[in-house]
A and B are shown apart, each in its own frame.
Chain A
Amino acid sequence: MNIQGENKTQNRILSLLPLWIVIGIFMIGPLLVMAVVSLMESNVYGGVHFKFSLSGYRQILFDTNLFDEIEFNPAYLIIIARSFMLALAATFLSLLIGFPAAYFISRQSDRVKNILIFLVTIPFWTNLLIRTFAWIIILGKGGVIESSFNFFGLLDEESSLNLMYTNSAILIGLVYSYLPLMVLPIYASMEKMDLRLLEAATDLYSNRIELIRKIILPLSMPGIIGGSILVFVPCLGAFIAPDLLGGGKKLLLGSLIQFQFSYARNWPFGAAMAMFLLALVILVLIFNARLNRKHREYANQK
């Protein structure tokens, strides 16, 4: 009995070993490296001096001025706030487009459903960088939008709509990149929904709007929360859309971190920023778990 029990425990540890190795090498390892780097001194030629220092973290909020005094520097806080706002806006916009899209797809026949879901996933087949470049062609000077404005005489040849290198351009890029991640989870929860509940609600005098507000929206909440997390988290750290469509004029968290490692050669600061971003994401996930607990009761019922 006892031996058997021990064997079982041993077996379980052994069988989980590959998983731990994978998680260790690909997840915990790099994170540890980041954490260690964030606590070192920077080396202007790249890499780090192996000497403990909190300067990476300090730099997030404080700067050393000409007189070697430490003073508060809100520049990075502004970048963080801007990234946060942009990610939030992108998530909200994705939800605004993704929810009706998912609802529309879920109401189609099985055949049409499969085709539409397939179409939603098609963008993943091409590299994000290339797809974002496509937006430059669409939004840019003399691009698709401007030339069609020209064509209809709404814009003369010399002037430009100045669509590129704005927050809106970044927002468009972000929403475009991550919209499928919003549509799919919402679709999944709508697909699971018992259509007879909609009949019941209509039978009980609900009009179309009340049907959506009182039944469909609350019942697809797990999908909405899941999709929002999936969009919000990568948006917070995104750097492709901000760099290409924002022109790097307005730094965002992702670009800032990338910049520290590539050009600025301030690895500790980049790593500290990355850790900060991670903390932010974990906070969001905890918030999400809280929200989800409320919805789990009835999500489990199916």
Chain B
Amino acid sequence: MMEKKVNAIDVRNVTKIYTSGNTQTKALKSANLTIYDNEFFTLLGPSGCGKTTLLRLIAGFEDITEGSINLFNQEIVNLPPNKRPVNTVFQQYSLFPHLNVYENVAFGLRRLKKDASLVESRTFEVLELVQMKEYANRKPNQLSGGQQQRVALARALAPEPKVLLLDEPLSALDLKLRQAMRFELKTLQRETGITFVFVTHDQEEALTMSDRIAVINEGEIQQIGEPEQIYESPSNKFVANFIGEANLLSGVCKTPGENGVCELDTGHELNLFVPPHIKQNDKVTIFIRPERIKIEKSSKDKSQLSISEFTYLGNAATIQLKSNNQLINVNLPIEDLKIFKKDDYVDIHFPKESAQVID
């Protein structure tokens, strides 16, 4: 089951500083990460966080300020983009408008001086793969956004890159198409066995497609891990908030240690794991996902939590509990919809492992 993992990309202490005039912008601050061969790896973060910069550094479009990038254990920082065995799918596709679909896809192979017969067979092979074979003679402006997207994919896949870089390739598509393309991309990655490095700001996209995710904010890598890991145990407040809905509740540590106790400002006591660096009476922030919280009816004298908002979503409801200026979001499953209403007093509880002290 456990196979030996091969490092496809090693990013070591990579810093990128943009200088314009007298102002310097640090786009990446000493970033470190390893991407394994045959992996669907996602760089996730808000716009301007440096994720695209990292991708462009790997592709070679930007000069690195500091650090090194290795591709299959070979230093590539000094190679120009046309000498790096990686290909990019651009955000706006950037298909060559004067060439038809076939010539667009064959472009890379032709530049690599492949045999004419190989160019033809490989071009049709990838066009087949993205189901665009019958459009081979069309010009890019005769294609829909989704079709252009497929051609852009085919064009980047045709030269059989060691790593495929994808720069928010789905962001220009409408919702329906975007969702369909997620599965196609994932399937494509599995079928081709090529390492995908995917840049997105869409956490849902990242969670559904990736083998592993690196969350980036303000030029720094916040957390690297599998989607579940990142969702269930975020390493800090930023990650907790950026991915999915999160409650970040403030409280005080009562008992430190593995079987610790923390008291929320709402007065609730929670049993949970308290990391060793937190001592008694330290202020803590506790993270918990809204769907992990279970509520039950209570009365005014027993609980200070009341339902202050009730939002009906059709297949579920989200409610907001209020107490001492603290708001707690809870997802209510469909079967509980009828039981609760606004202004009800409730009590909350949740499994110990689903709450977490967070930095």
Identify the A interface with B (CB < 8 A).
194, 196-197, 199-207, 210, 214-215, 218-219, 295, 297-298, 300-301
A204 near B155: Cβ-Cβ < 8 Å: yes
Given contact pairs A196-B92, A210-B111, A301-B97, A203 touches B82 in the complex (Cβ within 8 A): yes
B80 near A194: Cβ-Cβ < 8 Å: no
Most chain B CB within 10 A, of A200, A214, A295, A301, is at A200
A205 smallest CB distance to B (angstroms): 4
A301 near B140: Cβ-Cβ < 8 Å: yes
For B111, list chain A residues within 8 Å (CB). 204-207, 210
The CA-CA distance from A214 to B98 in the complex, in Å, is: 10
B79 smallest CB distance to A (angstroms): 12
The CA-CA distance from A194 to B141 in the complex, in Å, is: 14
For A215, list chain B residues within 8 Å (CB). 96
Residue in A197, A205, A300 whose beta carbon sits within 8 Å of that of B108 in the complex: A205
Q: Does any Cβ of A come within 8 Å of B254's Cβ? A: no
Among B61-115, those with CB < 8 Å from A are 61, 80-83, 86-88, 90, 92, 94-98, 107-108, 111-112
Q: Does any Cβ of A come within 8 Å of B8's Cβ? A: no
The CA-CA distance from A189 to B303 in the complex, in Å, is: 71
B96 near A200: Cβ-Cβ < 8 Å: yes
What are 30 contact pairs spanning A and B, CB under 8 A?
A194-B92, A194-B94, A197-B96, A197-B97, A199-B61, A199-B81, A199-B88, A199-B90, A200-B88, A200-B90, A200-B96, A202-B61, A202-B80, A202-B82, A203-B59, A203-B61, A203-B87, A203-B156, A204-B155, A204-B156, A205-B83, A205-B108, A206-B107, A207-B82, A210-B111, A297-B141, A298-B97, A298-B139, A298-B141, A301-B141
The CA-CA distance from A297 to B143 in the complex, in Å, is: 13
Given A201-B107, A203-B156, A301-B97, output 5 extra A-B contacts at Cβ < 8 Å: A196-B92, A201-B96, A203-B86, A297-B141, A300-B141
Given contact pairs A205-B159, A210-B111, A298-B139, A219 touches B97 in the complex (Cβ within 8 A): yes
For B87, list chain A residues within 8 Å (CB). 203-204
B93 and chain A: residue at smallest CB distance: A200
For A219, list chain B residues within 8 Å (CB). 97-98
The CA-CA distance from A206 to B92 in the complex, in Å, is: 20
The CA-CA distance from A283 to B61 in the complex, in Å, is: 46
The CA-CA distance from A200 to B94 in the complex, in Å, is: 7
B112 and chain A: residue at smallest CB distance: A205
For B88, list chain A residues within 8 Å (CB). 199-200, 203
The CA-CA distance from A52 to B159 in the complex, in Å, is: 72
Number of A-B contacts (CB under 8 A): 68
For A295, list chain B residues within 8 Å (CB). 98
Instruction: Give the contact-size bracket for chain B.
Output: 20 to 34
A110 smallest CB distance to B (angstroms): 12
B98 near A202: Cβ-Cβ < 8 Å: no
A109 smallest CB distance to B (angstroms): 10
The CA-CA distance from A206 to B83 in the complex, in Å, is: 9
A204 near B108: Cβ-Cβ < 8 Å: yes
B86 and chain A: residue at smallest CB distance: A203
B94 near A202: Cβ-Cβ < 8 Å: no
For A205, list chain B residues within 8 Å (CB). 82-83, 108, 111-112, 159
The CA-CA distance from A197 to B59 in the complex, in Å, is: 14
The CA-CA distance from A65 to B86 in the complex, in Å, is: 77
Given contact pairs A205-B112, A205-B159, A218 touches B98 in the complex (Cβ within 8 A): yes
Residue in B81, B83, B94, B156 whose beta carbon sits within 8 Å of that of A197 in the complex: B94
Q: Nearest 7 CB-CB pairs, A to B? A: A204-B108, A298-B97, A205-B111, A200-B94, A301-B141, A196-B94, A202-B81
The CA-CA distance from A204 to B83 in the complex, in Å, is: 9
For B141, list chain A residues within 8 Å (CB). 297-298, 300-301
B347 smallest CB distance to A (angstroms): 56
A119 smallest CB distance to B (angstroms): 24
B181 smallest CB distance to A (angstroms): 20
The CA-CA distance from A201 to B159 in the complex, in Å, is: 13
The CA-CA distance from A290 to B167 in the complex, in Å, is: 39
Among B28-83, those with CB < 8 Å from A are 59, 61, 80-83
The CA-CA distance from A156 to B83 in the complex, in Å, is: 55
Among B264-296, those with CB < 8 Å from A are none
B109 smallest CB distance to A (angstroms): 9
B139 and chain A: residue at smallest CB distance: A297
The CA-CA distance from A206 to B59 in the complex, in Å, is: 14
The CA-CA distance from A99 to B225 in the complex, in Å, is: 51
A206 and chain B: residue at smallest CB distance: B111
For A300, list chain B residues within 8 Å (CB). 141
For B82, list chain A residues within 8 Å (CB). 202-207
B172 smallest CB distance to A (angstroms): 13
The CA-CA distance from A210 to B109 in the complex, in Å, is: 13
For B61, list chain A residues within 8 Å (CB). 199, 202-203
The CA-CA distance from A1 to B88 in the complex, in Å, is: 57
The CA-CA distance from A207 to B82 in the complex, in Å, is: 7
For A210, list chain B residues within 8 Å (CB). 111
For B80, list chain A residues within 8 Å (CB). 202
The CA-CA distance from A200 to B155 in the complex, in Å, is: 10
The CA-CA distance from A123 to B80 in the complex, in Å, is: 40
The CA-CA distance from A215 to B61 in the complex, in Å, is: 17
A221 and chain B: residue at smallest CB distance: B98
B144 smallest CB distance to A (angstroms): 14
Given contact pairs A196-B92, A210-B111, A301-B140, A204 touches B159 in the complex (Cβ within 8 A): yes
For B139, list chain A residues within 8 Å (CB). 297-298
The CA-CA distance from A207 to B92 in the complex, in Å, is: 22
A215 and chain B: residue at smallest CB distance: B96
A199 and chain B: residue at smallest CB distance: B61
The CA-CA distance from A203 to B111 in the complex, in Å, is: 11
The CA-CA distance from A164 to B107 in the complex, in Å, is: 49
The CA-CA distance from A104 to B178 in the complex, in Å, is: 40
B247 smallest CB distance to A (angstroms): 42
The CA-CA distance from A196 to B86 in the complex, in Å, is: 16
For B86, list chain A residues within 8 Å (CB). 203
